[in-house]
Chains A and B, each alone.
Chain A
Amino acid sequence: MTHPAEVIELDARGLEPPQPLVSILEAVTTLSPGAMLRARTDRRPMHLYAQLQERGLTCEFQEQADGSFITYIRHH
């Protein structure tokens, strides 16, 4: 993976569903080309992936030791 020009951090933990989804999708609209959003959620954001796909964005996710998830979203 190439290094992104900019990484924006978003901590969406502690929010009741579907607020994490809303926060992340609102944040990705501000991503500039080459930038990456690093979003942390309490659970795997199952409904997010289809929305990112529909917006032409790619993502990777990684589960943390505490059960939370980090999703990396790139704007190409």
Chain B
Amino acid sequence: MEASLPISATTNLTPTRPATGTSPLGLNAPAIKLPLAFMLTGLAALSVGASWIVIQPSILASYHYNQNVVALTHLFVLGWICSIVMGAMYQLVPVALETKLYSERLARWQFAFHLVGFIGMVWMFRAWNMKQVGHFGTLLTIGVGLFVFNIARTLWRVPKWNVTATAVTAALFWISLTVIAGLSIATGKCVYESTEGLATKGGVSMLITGLRLLAGFVSRFDAISAMHAHAHLGGVGFFTMLIVGISYKLIPMFTLSEVQSQRRAGLSVGLLNLGLAGSFIAILLRSPWKLAFALVTITALAIYGWELRAILRARKRGPLDWGIHYFLTAVALFGPLSLLAVVLSWPGLPLNTFTGQLENLYGFLGLLGVVSFAIVGMLYKIIPFLIWFGVYSKHIGRARVPALADMYSPRLQMIGYWSFLAGLVGISVGVLCGNERVIRFGSLLFTTSVVALLINGFKILSHAACPQIMPLGTSRSAKPITK
């Protein structure tokens, strides 16, 4: 205890923005309901998607340019991954970048557009009704526009710009381009005969003319190449960019370490952007430069892996928990994914059944391997904290509250990890061989992992319904106070 020490007498203080009185930084992230709504939507979409593969394993055993694969991919990408990522960003960006979310109201509107948009899109992709895909896609795009605006305005307030803020900004740019490319592709597949004679004047006429021009422009490109270019914008530009950028904040936070080289971190994000920009054009134009830009992206990921290793080696925390294990396994999967990228971008590669299966494996490993594994790992950090903070923050210091790790079962978390990994291996082998039975077996293991995640999610959420609050000084075995 240090008696009568005035603030002015303290040393090593650097001048910063003062936060005197009732702090203006009091409420940074939105209320837990909003990110939680996104996350529960994501978990529901993951459950439906995993069950879909079990029921219809042929989806992954055949070439991916068909209505079921496109519908399933959008269910995973929009329903599962985007829901989780967007919900998490509303929570994490203000906290990680030490600022305040611009508008929670806009975020609530985005949730409504997102939910209706992605459900309608998946439904209409399955029916292969591209006009309705375009309509629901427009709703989703309005939602993405609100999301981009909201996060961009939030970034505007960031007091100290850093590599994470740069990566988030880049991700906003790429997600915007992804939805524009997606809508353009949908427009290109639509025939506007039904509008003949309906729109003869005003804005509607201009819109129809514009859509016809856009459809004509998109039809100049090979359909599959356009789809692959669109997929890379989202997969690399939005998901991978955020995995890399956000982890430069979260991994040091959870392992008690620091970024070891800002230069290395900045280089990884810069090269990732360069590689993607080049890959997008090269894939779209079927250019032999695909390989060169794939190598730029792989170099970016290698530098990222190098920096991540340095961060982990400098950590003050000893053993890593399962959440971090999930995340690091996802990062390790960038290895086989990069190898596949090199093979698939090799100039003159013939398109046959086997290379088609390799493309399936590439997409599967990218979305359900790297991105989903990383997301599940981060969910084990985010959801417990959201509920814990929402339920118990007012009681800290006034009563005994559970620790984060007490809110779920580490055993289920471990079962989830191994069944996820085994499921990925099983499905990958099945996809390579085009064998539906093996894919079904792998997807059952994958579903086991999803069930483990859902049970743990339920355990965590049960704290919201029945808080475990005990008087100070009681042991952990004591009976909680009934709220």
Which of B3, B12, B397 makes the CB contact (< 8 A) with A6? B3
The interface size bin for chain B is: 35 or more
| With known contacts A16-B256, A21-B396, A49-B26, A64–B4 Cβ distance under 8 A | no
**Contact present for B25 and A49 (CB under 8 Å):** yes
**Contact present for A53 and B253 (CB under 8 Å):** no
Collect the chain B residues with CB atoms within 8 Å of residue A52's CB: 23
**Contact present for B19 and A46 (CB under 8 Å):** no
| With known contacts A49-B19, A62-B16, A18–B398 Cβ distance under 8 A | no
- Which B residues, 1 to 39, have Cβ-Cβ distances below 8 Å to chain A? 1-8, 10, 12-14, 16, 18-23, 25-29
Which of B13, B258, B394, B401 makes the CB contact (< 8 A) with A64? B13
Least Cβ distance of A58 to chain B in Å? 6
A7 to B8, alpha carbons, bound, how many Å? 13
A15 to B403, alpha carbons, bound, how many Å? 13
Residues 48-69 of A, flagged 1 when their CB comes within 8 A of B and 0 if not, give 0111111000111111110100
**Contact present for A63 and B3 (CB under 8 Å):** no
A5 to B393, alpha carbons, bound, how many Å? 28
B479 interface contact, C-beta 8 A: no
The DSSP consensus for interface residues of chain B is loop
Residues 12-36 of A, flagged 1 when their CB comes within 8 A of B and 0 if not, give 0011111001100111110000000
Least Cβ distance of B16 to chain A in Å? 4
Collect the chain B residues with CB atoms within 8 Å of residue A25's CB: 396-397
Which of A6, A22, A53, A60 makes the CB contact (< 8 A) with B26? A53
**Contact present for B3 and A7 (CB under 8 Å):** yes
Q: Pick from A22, A26, A52, A62 the residue with the most CB of B within 10 Å.
A: A62
A31 to B258, alpha carbons, bound, how many Å? 32
Least Cβ distance of B429 to chain A in Å? 38
The interface size bin for chain A is: 35 or more
Collect the chain A residues with CB atoms within 8 Å of residue B401's CB: 22
Closest chain A residue, CB of each to CB of B385:
A18
A28 to B396, alpha carbons, bound, how many Å? 10
| With known contacts A16-B254, A53-B26, A6–B398 Cβ distance under 8 A | no
A9 to B94, alpha carbons, bound, how many Å? 28
B317 interface contact, C-beta 8 A: yes
B389 interface contact, C-beta 8 A: yes
| With known contacts A1-B6, A58-B21, A72-B7, A47–B95 Cβ distance under 8 A | yes
Chain A to chain B: the 9 pairs with minimum beta-carbon distance, closest first? A49-B23, A25-B397, A25-B396, A29-B397, A50-B26, A26-B397, A3-B6, A63-B16, A7-B5
**15 pairs from A and B in contact (CB 8 Å cutoff):** A1-B8, A4-B4, A5-B4, A6-B3, A8-B1, A9-B2, A17-B254, A29-B397, A29-B398, A38-B2, A46-B94, A47-B28, A49-B25, A58-B21, A63-B16
Interface of B toward A, CB cutoff 8 Å:
1-8, 10, 12-14, 16, 18-23, 25-29, 94-95, 98, 253-254, 256, 258, 316-317, 385, 388-389, 393-394, 396-398, 401, 404
Q: A14-B256, A62-B14 are in contact. List 4 more A-B contacts (CB 8 A).
A: A44-B25, A50-B393, A59-B23, A60-B20
